[in-house]
């Protein structure tokens, strides 16, 4: 007689196979890897089976609504008067910020292997069919492939030889996308190896990390701190604290060990907050238990921002998953926080999507005045069909009264067609500079809002954005009416599942259709 666990395993494998999520062997491996933790979260959950299936698989499996309203408590202290951002005075110093995200090191990457396999991740075994040049390139490949370690190390060597940076932000996703077969040992090897490489090639540059969704084993599995024992995340957070103790002070390491988030003062007048965005993720199955402000992170953020406001500090926020990709209640609460502290939050930096984009925040009263922008930088990895890339931000520098806001940014890529050519050496090159590429007077929130309007009216400008969005290697199909409506809606939406944010764009398609198209490109 089968146990309940065996029945669940068989059902999950069948669903995975029938929905063609992967071939049966991969479905079986994935179910075995996820089963224990998912069942543990399930038995503690108050959700019905159909709701859980809708959460894990999507609307085609069942209806899931975890949108029960909850609210963080904002301070009773009145919000300071809004002061519109202004360019720094002539001759004011600037600083350069290195931003790395989504490295995705594939420990099994094999040059010459099959880049067109049927598995979720390729370039890792089995010779390619066809002519010799058909196999995976030495430096990477335009396909469902992550990166070999030598490409990542080449990038870090290049950065170490280049113009100096003041600091670096590094927003997670270190392991590859072979999520059906990863162990804790695999994840820790990626964490320790890549952290050591950053120390080696970037020192003495301080690096400030954030936790990605791929660091866990199984992927996306981040239990809240009240889950103890072997199923807790202590194994991961503790290893991060060890790997990063050369970059972070003791008080930051303390909250990192508990919940994967931290704050620290970067310099007088500027504070950093690193959020664990896995506590907002709809893919985090541990939120089946309770999705109300997991780990109390948002309420903690309110306290940090209130203290910073009182001390006249500006704040940079970094995280992995962008806010509009979060569960609705979490996302809407974060939006409220950004509105309340718009005068304190100087910049927001995220990754996760692998492409080059941004998310707008508007005042809650009218949804028309831009108050902030979340910069979403492209990935180092090629997954899927991309050039490797990284981002450099130019910031208002260190002087009394500095805004510490972003003044411009540059995106750099490794053109794989050139790098993989016989006899070629890898050449990291600038793809574009934001102000120059889009004709922007500055890169404040109002400038990005105006750019969205220009995208609507100027098809050539939008298609240029589409090219840069994919790091200079766009899909063959152009982004036309439906695709464009979905993408512009996503860019205008700093909070999830809110059709009112798209109304200003007057899309011809219903919001549900626009949202469905937007979700189709979420691969990470």
Q: Which residues neighbour 7 within 8 Å (Cβ) at sequence distance 6 or greater? A: none
Give residues with Cβ within 8 angstroms of 306, minimum separation 6.
75, 77, 341
Quickly tell me which residue has 């994919």 as its tokens: 470
**DSSP letters for 237-253:** HHHHHHHHTTTS-HHHH
Nearby residues of 517 by Cβ (< 8 Å), 6 or more positions away: 482, 483, 485, 486, 509
- Asked if 28 contacts 13 with a C-beta cutoff of 8 angstroms, the reply is yes
Angstrom distance (rounded) from CA 293 to CA 300: 10
State yes or no: 186 annotated in a binding site.
Answer: no
Residue ranges of the alpha helices (H) in 179-326?
Answer: 184-202, 234-244, 250-259, 297-310
Q: Are 93 and 404 within 8 A, CB to CB? A: no
Task: Please check if 102 is assigned to a binding site.
Answer: yes
Residue-wise DSSP of 60-103: TT----------PPPPSSPPPPP----PPPTT--EEEEEEE---
Beta strands in 296-436 (DSSP E): 314-318, 345-350, 357-362, 370-376, 389-396, 406-414, 428-433
Sign of the torsion angle spanned by Cα atoms 98, 370, 314, 253: negative
* DSSP H or E segment with residue 448: helix 445-457
Q: Give how far Cα 302 sits from Cα of 318, 405, 482, Å.
A: 15, 20, 38
* Contacts (Cβ under 8 Å, ≥6 apart) of 363: 339, 369, 371
| Residue 213 in marked binding region | yes
Rg (CA), the chain: 22
How far is 29 from 484, CA to CA, in rounded Å?
A: 37
Q: What does the alpha-carbon distance between residue 448 and residue 440 come to, in Å, rounded to a whole number?
A: 8
Contacts of residues 234-243 at CB distance under 8 Å and 24 or more positions apart, as own/partner, are 235/184, 235/188, 236/184, 236/187, 236/188, 236/191, 236/260, 239/188, 239/191, 239/192, 240/191, 240/209, 240/211, 240/215, 243/191, 243/192, 243/195, 243/196
**Which are the contacts of 25, defined by CB distance < 8 A and separation ≥ 6?**
none
Question: Which helix (H) or strand (E) segment is 267 a member of?
Answer: strand 262-267
User: Is there a binding annotation on residue 104?
Assistant: yes
Ligand-binding annotation for 354, yes or no, is yes
Binding site per annotation, positions for Zn(2+): 102, 104, 173, 213, 320, 352, 354
Binding site per annotation, positions: 102, 104, 173, 213, 320, 352, 354
């Amino acid at each position: 007689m089968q146990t309940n666990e065996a029945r669940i395993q068989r059902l999950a494998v069948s669903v995975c196979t029938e929905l063609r999520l992967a071939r049966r062997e991969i479905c079986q491996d994935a179910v075995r890897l996820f089963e224990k933790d998912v069942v543990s979260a399930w038995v503690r959950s108050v959700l019905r089976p159909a709701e859980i299936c809708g959460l894990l698989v999507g609307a085609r499996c069942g209806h899931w609504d975890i949108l029960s309203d909850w609210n963080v408590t904002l301070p009773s202290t009145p919000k300071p008067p809004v002061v519109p951002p202004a360019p720094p005075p002539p001759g004011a110093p600037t600083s350069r910020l290195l931003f790395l995200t989504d490295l995705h090191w594939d420990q099994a990457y094999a040059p010459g292997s099959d880049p067109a396999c049927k598995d979720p991740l390729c370039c890792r075994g089995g010779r390619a069919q066809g002519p010799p040049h058909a196999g995976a390139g030495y430096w990477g490949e335009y396909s469902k492939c992550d990166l070999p370690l030598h490409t990542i190390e080449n990038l870090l060597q290049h950065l170490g030889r280049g113009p100096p940076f003041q600091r670096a932000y590094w927003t997670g996703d270190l392991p590859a996308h072979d999520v059906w077969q990863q162990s804790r040992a695999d994840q820790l090897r990626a964490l320790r190896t890549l952290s050591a490489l950053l120390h080696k090639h970037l020192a003495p540059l301080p690096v400030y990390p954030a936790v990605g969704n791929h660091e866990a084993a199984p992927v996306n599995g981040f239990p809240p701190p009240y889950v103890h024992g072997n199923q807790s995340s202590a194994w991961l957070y503790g290893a991060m604290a060890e790997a990063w103790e050369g970059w972070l002070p003791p008080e930051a390491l303390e909250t990192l060990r508990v919940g994967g988030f931290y704050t620290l003062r970067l310099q007088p007048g500027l504070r950093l907050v690193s959020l664990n965005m896995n506590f907002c993720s709809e893919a985090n199955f541990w939120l089946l238990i309770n999705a109300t402000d997991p780990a109390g992170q948002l309420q903690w953020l309110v306290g940090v921002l209130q203290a910073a406001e009182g001390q006249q500090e500006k704040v940079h926020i970094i995280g992995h998953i962008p806010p509009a990709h979060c569960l609705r209640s979490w996302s809407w609460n974060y939006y409220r926080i950004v509105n309340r502290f718009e005068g304190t939050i100087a910049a927001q930096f995220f990754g996760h999507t692998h492409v080059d984009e941004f998310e707008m925040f508007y005042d809650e009263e009218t949804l028309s005045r831009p108050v902030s922008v979340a910069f979403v930088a492209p990935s180092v990895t090629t997954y899927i069909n991309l050039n490797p890339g990284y981002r450099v931000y130019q910031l208002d520098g260190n002087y009394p009264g500095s805004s510490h806001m972003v003044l411009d940014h540059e995106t750099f890529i490794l053109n794989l067609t050139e790098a993989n050519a016989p006899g070629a050496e890898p050449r990291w090159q600038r793809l574009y500079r934001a102000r120059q590429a889009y004709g922007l007077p500055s890169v404040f929130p109002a400038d990005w809002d105006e750019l969205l309007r220009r995208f609507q009216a100027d098809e050539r400008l939008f298609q240029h954005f589409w090219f840069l969005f994919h790091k200079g290697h766009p899909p063959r199909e152009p982004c036309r009416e439906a695709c464009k409506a979905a993408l512009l809606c996503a860019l205008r939406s700093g909070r999830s599942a809110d059709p009112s944010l798209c109304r200003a764009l007057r899309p011809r398609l219903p919001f549900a259709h626009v949202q469905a198209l937007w979700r189709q490109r979420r691969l990470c």
